[in-house]
Amino acid sequence: MNKNSFDINEVLNKYNFEGHYKEFYPSNHGHINNTFVLEFVNNEGKTVKYILQQINVSVFKQPVQLMENIVRVTGHLHDKVLEGGGDPARETMNVIFTRDNSSYFIDREGRYWRCYNFVPNSYTLQQIENPKMFYNAAKAFGKFQHMLADFPIETLHETIPNFHNTVVRLEDLKKAVEKDDAGRVSTVKKEIEFALKRENDTAVLLNLAAEGLLPTKVTHNDTKLNNVMFDIDTDEGICVIDLDTVMPGLSLYDFGDSIRFGANTAAEDEKDISKVSLDLELFETYLSGYLSAAGNSLNSYEIDYLPFSAKLLTLECGIRFLTDYINGDVYFRAAYSDHNLVRCRTQFALVADMEDKMDTMNEITDEIKKELS
């Protein structure tokens, strides 16, 4: 059975879906899990849709813990939306439980599946079309952080250990350099030096966390634009989706990665690094939207280190690309022989530009903080 095939009758027997089954078709959302839309027609003749996903256990090796995290987080969000007078059917993902009250099922071939509600009258974006959409995405992630500020973090599993531990990422790079399995170290000495010169940066946030100045919170860990659902009529962010990497972490990780991905003037694999820079207007736009929604859920350290987090997460990403290139491209999918090296250089160019603009980034942060206080 290929990846775009499954026994629909097996699925129908697992759930109490509303209405009569009509059809299913693949969804183009995401690149890791296989996703399908199931369509039903209810007694009133209206179409009812559900999202069915096969969990990629090659990437997510602890699917049961992963689903436990998602159920706990979405349940908390559901209650918060209700408290605020909102519509939890639209403003958070909702896991559809099986007939035997499980958040997932295992099919006859041993594959793990789950089901979610389908959010009608919504859409996702693959890239920023205008600053307003970036602002609305920032508000959605800020609201996500705000609603989860009082979540009992001890109940979450760390499904991917050291995911944003930049100290560990740099140690991985050092090990790769020492082994030189692919014989590439001699060609990337400049990039290695760039990373090693910034070793002190890698522990800054971890040290603040160890001192109790940065609290451990629920983090999304994949805060790209396409993980926000937008309302068709208002273009407002409805809810945050794709919670597979939700786990304990620092709020700064999510903000930093959003800027790394969304405020770069060039593509992640742009070969001409002269095109790479931080768009300060987009940085300010996202920061403003994020803080307007996150509000008092962030302490002063979390706010003051927002600019630095953008640099750190970009550095970390560049280190990961460089490590994989040295190892022979064993983790990130590469379209050509030096693809991961190109990605690394793009990230490092963005780090360098952020360093040049850090004073301005800090000034922007201070101004927005004053406006919102």
Q: Say which residues have a Cβ less than 8 Å from residue 266's Cβ, sequence separation at least 6.
A: 272, 273, 275, 276, 277, 346
Three-state SS annotation for 58-69: CCCCCHHHHHHH
Report, as an integer, the average pLDDT of 188-198: 98
pLDDT in tens, 235-245: 999 999 999 99
Beta-strand runs (E) in the chain: 20-26, 34-41, 47-54, 105-106, 112-117, 122-123, 217-219, 228-231, 237-240, 247-249
pLDDT in tens, 80-110: 999 999 999 999 999 999 999 999 999 999 9
Q: Say which residues have a Cβ less than 8 Å from residue 154's Cβ, sequence separation at least 6.
A: none
19: confidence class by pLDDT, cuts 50, 70, 90 = very high
pLDDT of residue 141: 97
DSSP assignment letter at 96: P
Report, as an integer, the average pLDDT of 26-54: 87
pLDDT in tens, 299-310: 999 999 999 999
Per cent of the chain over pLDDT 70 is 98
pLDDT of residue 117: 93
Asked whether 50 and 22 are in contact (CB, 8 A), the reply is: no
Residue 29 DSSP SS3 = coil
Would you say residue 2 has pLDDT above 60? no
Whole-number Å distance between alpha carbons of 179 and 185: 9
Would you say residue 362 has pLDDT above 80? yes
pLDDT in tens, 251-274: 999 999 999 999 999 999 999 999
Report, as an integer, the average pLDDT of 19-47: 87
pLDDT of residue 6: 86
28: confidence class by pLDDT, cuts 50, 70, 90 = low
Report, as an integer, the average pLDDT of 145-171: 95
Query: How many CB atoms neighbour CB 292 within 10 A?
Result: 16
Global pTM? 0.91
Report, as an integer, the average pLDDT of 33-57: 93
Whole-number Å distance between alpha carbons of 8 and 161: 35
Average pLDDT over the chain reads: 94
Whole-number Å distance between alpha carbons of 92 and 79: 10
Longest Cα separation, the chain = 68
DSSP assignment letter at 298: S
pLDDT in tens, 113-151: 999 999 889 999 888 888 999 999 999 999 999 999 999
How far lies 257's CA from each of 97, 197, 247, 300, 311, in Å?
A: 32, 21, 15, 20, 9
Whole-number Å distance between alpha carbons of 355 and 194: 13
Domains in the chain with CATH codes: 8-120 (3.30.200), 131-372 (3.90.1200.10)
Report, as an integer, the average pLDDT of 17-27: 93
Identify the residue whose tokens are 């010169």: 197
DSSP assignment letter at 244: T
pLDDT in tens, 294-352: 988 999 999 999 999 999 999 999 999 999 999 999 988 889 999 999 999 999 999 99
CA 105 to chain centre: 25
pLDDT of residue 1: 43
